[in-house]
Amino acid sequence: MSKTQAYLALESSVQADFQSSLSPNDALELLQSGNQRFIEEKGAKRRSRTNLLKGAAQGQAPFAAVLGCIDSRAPIEEIFDAEIGDLFVARVAGNTVNGDILGSIEYACKYAGSKLVLVLGHTQCGAVKGAYASLKDGNLTGLLERIEPAVAPVRETHGSEATDEAIGLSVANNVQLVCERIKRESQILAELAESGAIRIVGGVYDVATGEVDFSTYPG
């Protein structure tokens, strides 16, 4: 039985024994197959809410941690056909990273056993558009400055107009740079990745098709 088949056979929330049986590649496969079910509108048979809550009350063992954007069009669990207790999810405009986000992901992987970190950008990202336009307003200013390194080279080559192509390239750049920042700014996560205990990967979700392109940063 494949890990995806075993996952689909679960009747309760993910428990530590199932989580520990997974490799980082297995965890990625679960996300990929979940997104395929989402695209095809062939969601898995829903686990009993009662069983999910009962299992979750005993503890948590999510198989992956996803850093996504706050955008309302990108609901993380739904995108991956996931249930209560399956995923750690951190969401912030522009799926960027700071010390709080890093600490959260460190907890997810080092202490709670998650096998994969996915940085998930998305098409038509408002935060990336704001950074592209050099928007400065309140607390957004500091947040968008963290995205500026991703948009600056695109703005230089494509001009100041925020075309779909320019924003798409900037979104992909941002995902790649955030993945690199995670490894650069978190010794814990860098060492876990180096040892093979986890993978750090990046993808881009298409808000029009529902598909996640996992090739953005294979890790």
Q: Residue 115: its pLDDT value, please?
A: 98
Q: Residue 26: its pLDDT value, please?
A: 98
Q: Residue 158: its pLDDT value, please?
A: 96
* C-beta separation of 108 from 84 below 8 A: no
Q: Residue 43: its pLDDT value, please?
A: 83
Domains and CATH numbers, the chain: 3-217 (3.40.1050.10)
Stated pTM of the model: 0.96
Amino acid at 54: K
Q: Residue 56: its pLDDT value, please?
A: 87
* C-beta separation of 115 from 196 below 8 A: no
What is the rounded CA–CA span in Å between residue 112 and residue 105?
Answer: 10
Query: What DSSP element (H or E) covers 83?
Result: none
Mean pLDDT (10-residue bins), the chain, 219 residues: 93 95 98 97 87 90 98 97 97 98 98 98 98 97 98 97 97 98 98 98 98 96
